[in-house]
Structure 1
Amino acid sequence: MTEILIYGIVGDSWDGLDANTLVPLISAGDDDLHIRINSAGGYVMEGLAIFNAITREKAKGRKVTTHIDGLAASMASILAMAGEDIVIADNALIMIHNPWDCACGDATELRQAADKLDRLRDQMVGIYAARTGLSAEELIPLLDAETWFTAVEALAFNLVTSISTAAITAAALDVSKFGFRKVPESPRIAAMALGTPRTAPAVPQQKGRIMPPEGNDTTAGNLAPDTITTEAAQALANKAVTAERTRTTGIRALVEKHKLPSALADTLIADGKSLEEARAAILDKLAEGGDAVGVGHSGPAVVTQDARDKFKIGAVNSIIARAGLAPMLQKAASITGKKIDLDPGEFRGIRNVELARMALDMAGIRCASYDRKEIVGMALTARAIGGQQTTSDFAVLMENTMHKVLQAAYAITPDTWSRFCGIGSVSDFRAHKRYLRGTFSRLDTLSEDGEFKNKTIPDAAKESITATTKGNIIALSRQAIINDDLDAFSALAVELGRAAKLSIEADVYDLLALNSNLGPLMNDGNTLFHASHLNIATAAAPSMAAFDALRVLMGSQKDVSGNEYLNITPSIWLGPLSLGGTAKSINGSEYDPDAANKLQKPNIVKGQFSDIVDTPRLSGTRWYGFADPMIAPAIEVAFLDGVTEPFLDSEEGWKIDGTEWKVRHDYGVAGVNSRSAATNAGA
């Protein structure tokens, strides 16, 4: 006996539930085949491939039994129909509904997408009809309504052939993430997950769903699983089908009689309205006096992954894998804390030309007679040819890949500016003010006559920062794409990402280097570091005494009104590489490293700086102290709209035979607070 478990999303390659994995397993043997199902559904085309593989084995004479151990919803219910015998656990569920998809584009594209869904629905209806004996007219309303069946109800509708006692607990499924509109309430889900027998069926969730008629006689739904008989179930099914036919034909007759749109009948049937409820709804429509009839349901839009989505993701990941860039992207993801899936799946190892051919096929462009250069050329311009805008076009795939690599290279490129500069945001390219408001210092004592004194709000000092755009255009030739020259591709992307990150680094240090390393001019006309700003220490090499003097200097700063001390403390040390080791030693030593004797004098500045930043971009003997940039930044890097990463755009090359990419980065660098930093010229 061969037993295959489909516990998860149908078509999920990560869990080995895709057609590529399951079909060979299904076809491998010639013994009895048992398929065990506990799934909320999955990909339609993957599911149909698996369904057809199972039916082929059945046609060969193999005994095929499908077992519904917990849930067979959506596409998983189709797989269940493939069995010669379909056995459902007494506490399991089946759900049937229409196929879902997402689409974007113009009206023609959307109509084509809707037509595709209708064709898929017809395929599913045909499978259900072959099993149950119900007609398409009877099944379609059930799919429209998203109908859930208990084991008893499933047997009554011939969706299964028998019910078994739940001896083995199926893994509980969290179906909340699948966008189902009418999931049964927790008692039924709990019964399914825990495998506990129920004394009576749960209340149906689908209003008006076909259920056993009420009466004093014992129905199949009230019998324990061991006492359910085929005769009772069949009798129940016959009554339910007759009642449903009466309901649907009656509603359609009422709608036609009052000359209302047939879509209203479809809605009333799909919503499970009884004849009485339908009459009331029709009267409401007639009372609207000719207003447009609003039809449809307000269920949530559900976005699922179709073949185009899978191609887009898989093709991008294939290029990344073949370029050897996956480790870099994984490192970047760990730095940024983002989750990343780099599995190319079925597109693993496929060359660029074949990816271009696939992109054209999905755009409806046949290219069997074209050579490689023509294929790549057409793929790079497929959006214009097809008159469509779709993210599966080859040019955009290349752009998406370049963008991912660019962002990863940007993330992993080390910098030092972010350790001592604040990060801000601006909304446009105008000069934006950064205000430093004064304080009241203290409240005045109430006068003897009980009069409160008026207090003037102190003037605020202001600095400004302006964002500018930096960027370049680079090109990837058609020959490089055809030759699968991924080294050129990866080198371009990585260097662009590094350049974007290092541009900020260079600009920050260029700002510090202005005016003989005293920084930019501030609003008062003086440099960032200036005697009038009280932030230049007596020249001295790094030492315990010099560090403490810097602490005193920064801690003595007052607000712009001169009323109150700011209590600013140095947090970041910045200097050239040649002084970095000394600074780390002083900052980390338990005892004064400058003491001439062995009396173990305590180091009074131990741990004064939370970070020691040394860089080859500084030279000489000058060093700096900065306050924590999260609290009181002295230098700010402001990004347009807060977007800290570079932007990438592409277009078909005109001067070159290939694709051009434009990379831009919108940011500005400025000194914003002279009180938050101090400098020492060194010795």
Structure 2
Amino acid sequence: MTTLFNSSVERIDSEANALRESFGGQRKVSTGVPRRDPKWERALLEAEAFVQDIRYGRRPLHHFSEAMSTSDFPLLFADSLDRQMYGAYEAVQPTWMNYARAATVNDFRAVKRFASTGVRGLLSKVGELAEHERRGMDEVAYEYAVSKYEAGFALSWEAMINDDLNAFMRLPQDLADSARDSEEEFVTRLFCGVDGPLTSVYTGSNLLTAALDRAALQSAITTLMKRTDENGNPIVVKAVELVVGPGLALQAQEIIDTTEYRTVDASGNVRIISGNGVAANLRISVNYWIPSVATSSNADTSWWVFANPSGPRPAMEFGRLRGFEAPALYEKVPDMRRIGGGEEPFSFDTEAAEKKIKHVYGGSFVDSRMSIASTGAGG
């Protein structure tokens, strides 16, 4: 501020001297050749007196600040001082672990998961000296491999110096959020396609067209809980996940939160029922990537019901590489050192600082009997 003040006073003195020279070098125009405009003379005298007061400290500094406008400092105020950095958008909260089982794989080779029928079944009555039933076991193999995914950024030395708002400080967090988003988007593509429920998985009895309402949801949950294995044994489903996109989030929550509903029979009798009949052991997962994967009109109407993945057989499996279960953040080792000591965190050739994130994952749909989906197109 002192340097700015002194330089400005010097400029004002210079302008005052120029004014005096233009009027015969006299300190006061009233003692020289008469001027034609008395008002102009008074204004000039006031300006000169103001300059002298500023120079010798007879006026406070804030008078000077008020007198100087931004036009007097075109370089200093070239960029607006009223600047601020908005926060990054909130990262999507992942939901995939609510309806897909997490696993760990050892390397990049394809891993196999086997689903067997087992020999579970009702016992058969056997007569005296009769042979008992010999049961066989069938199995189905599922296979997938993990892949490596990366992203990064490089910042020049000049950009780092100019970052007075610390805008670049949040970039590593952006990379971490990118890894989380990538997981959610990957799992979404395991059960969702362009038209909603993935056609290679949802066919026949596990594909509905009903719009999401209490009756349709109750029917889907009932169907899921009545599933049987290859031998006709019941599959026990103790908890269910309802997965919807943001277009159905409020409607799904309204169904769950309803504490009373009314039905009217054919005779016009009204029956009041407490509870909604579906809330027990049911959780809602809002997957924000569904509209990005399902690009048709079904994006806002499709919904899915999954058996909880902690059961004996999950609908999907998402695997990460052992030792790299969490995303890893890296930075390029700097190769520049200042003469006299001190390392610089920049490249010697380009003076750029680089960081990247690496994540290794894969997955597969495992058992279509553990899920039911609806396009919602029939509602």
TM beyond 0.5: yes
Give secondary structure in 2 for the equivalent of 1:601: strand
With structure 1 as the length reference, what TM-score do the two structures score?
Answer: 0.35
What is the deviation of 1:620?
2.7
Residues 424 and 642 in structure 1, CA contact (< 8 A), matched pair in contact too? no
Residues 570 and 677 in structure 1, CA contact (< 8 A), matched pair in contact too? no
Of 248, 263, 268 in structure 2, the residue corresponding to residue 579 of structure 1 is 248
Give secondary structure in 2 for the equivalent of 1:661: strand
What is the deviation of 1:580?
2.1
The structure in which a higher percent of residues are helix is 1
Count of aligned positions: 263
Residues 218 and 278 in structure 2, CA contact (< 8 A), matched pair in contact too? no
Residues 241 and 305 in structure 2, CA contact (< 8 A), matched pair in contact too? yes
- Aligned counterparts of 1:439 and 1:515: Cα–Cα separation in 2: 36
1:635 is the counterpart of 2:306: no
Query: Which residue identity is paired with 2:207?
Result: I
Of 451, 462, 466 in structure 1, the residue corresponding to residue 141 of structure 2 is 462
1:681 is the counterpart of 2:375: yes
What is the deviation of 1:469?
0.8
1:548 is the counterpart of 2:228: no
Aligned to 1:507: 186
**What are the residue-to-residue correspondences of 1:463-612 with 2, within 5 Å?**
463-479=142-158, 487-514=166-193, 516-519=195-198, 527-531=200-204, 534-537=205-208, 539-559=209-229, 561-568=230-237, 571-592=240-261, 599-603=271-275, 605-612=277-284
**What are the residue-to-residue correspondences of 1:378-397 with 2, within 5 Å?**
none
- Aligned counterparts of 1:594 and 1:582: Cα–Cα separation in 2: 19
Query: Which residue identity is paired with 1:542?
Result: L
- Aligned counterparts of 2:349 and 2:263: Cα–Cα separation in 1: 64
Give CA-to-partner distance per residue, 1:249-294, whole Å, 9 cap, x none.
xxxxxxxxxxxxxxxxxxxxxxxxxxxxxxxxxxxxxxxxxxxxxx
Residues 586 and 592 in structure 1, CA contact (< 8 A), matched pair in contact too? no
Give CA-to-partner distance per residue, 1:295-316, whole Å, 9 cap, x none.
xxxxxxxxxxxxxxxxxxxxxx
Of 361, 372, 376 in structure 2, the residue corresponding to residue 667 of structure 1 is 361
Cα distance 1:427–1:485, how it changes in 2: closer, same or farther (>3 A)? farther
Residues 544 and 594 in structure 1, CA contact (< 8 A), matched pair in contact too? no
Give secondary structure in 1 for the equivalent of 2:361: strand
Cα distance 1:451–1:668, how it changes in 2: closer, same or farther (>3 A)? same
Aligned to 1:623: 303
Of 442, 446, 449 in structure 1, the residue corresponding to residue 122 of structure 2 is 442
The structure in which a higher percent of residues are strand is 2
What is the deviation of 1:451?
4.2
What is the deviation of 1:578?
2.9
Residues 475 and 656 in structure 1, CA contact (< 8 A), matched pair in contact too? no
Cα distance 1:624–1:491, how it changes in 2: closer, same or farther (>3 A)? same
Aligned to 1:613: 285
Give secondary structure in 2 for the equivalent of 1:600: strand
Give CA-to-partner distance per residue, 1:328-350, whole Å, 9 cap, x none.
xxxxxxxxxxxxxxxxxxxxxxx
What is the deviation of 1:615?
3.9
Query: Which residue identity is paired with 1:528?
Result: V
**What are the residue-to-residue correspondences of 1:103-122 with 2, within 5 Å?**
none
What is the deviation of 1:416?
2.3
Cα distance 1:432–1:566, how it changes in 2: closer, same or farther (>3 A)? same
What is the deviation of 1:623?
0.8
Unaligned 5+ residue runs, structure 1?
1-408, 521-526
- The CA RMSD measured in Å over matched residues stands at 3.0
- Aligned counterparts of 1:518 and 1:655: Cα–Cα separation in 2: 51
- Aligned counterparts of 1:579 and 1:415: Cα–Cα separation in 2: 17
- Aligned counterparts of 2:234 and 2:203: Cα–Cα separation in 1: 19
Residues 221 and 240 in structure 2, CA contact (< 8 A), matched pair in contact too? no
Aligned to 1:141: none
Give secondary structure in 2 for the equivalent of 1:633: coil
Aligned to 1:644: 325
Give CA-to-partner distance per residue, 1:58-97, whole Å, 9 cap, x none.
xxxxxxxxxxxxxxxxxxxxxxxxxxxxxxxxxxxxxxxx
Give secondary structure in 2 for the equivalent of 1:563: coil
- Which has the higher Rg, Structure 1 or Structure 2? 2
- Aligned counterparts of 2:127 and 2:330: Cα–Cα separation in 1: 68
Higher relative contact order (CA 8 A, sep 6+): 2
Residues 535 and 678 in structure 1, CA contact (< 8 A), matched pair in contact too? yes
- Aligned counterparts of 1:446 and 1:515: Cα–Cα separation in 2: 54
Residues 554 and 569 in structure 1, CA contact (< 8 A), matched pair in contact too? no
Give CA-to-partner distance per residue, 1:412-434, whole Å, 9 cap, x none.
86222233222111111122122
**What are the residue-to-residue correspondences of 1:26-105 with 2, within 5 Å?**
none
What is the deviation of 1:598?
5.4
Which has the higher mean CA deviation after the structures are superposed, 577-586 or 425-434? 577-586
Query: Which residue identity is paired with 1:504?
Result: E
Residues 420 and 628 in structure 1, CA contact (< 8 A), matched pair in contact too? yes
What is the deviation of 1:645?
1.8
Aligned to 2:78: none
What is the deviation of 1:665?
0.6
Give secondary structure in 2 for the equivalent of 1:636: strand
Residues 212 and 301 in structure 2, CA contact (< 8 A), matched pair in contact too? no
What is the deviation of 1:438?
0.5
Give CA-to-partner distance per residue, 1:21-59, whole Å, 9 cap, x none.
xxxxxxxxxxxxxxxxxxxxxxxxxxxxxxxxxxxxxxx
What is the deviation of 1:655?
6.1
**What are the residue-to-residue correspondences of 1:215-364 with 2, within 5 Å?**
none
Identity of aligned residues (%): 24
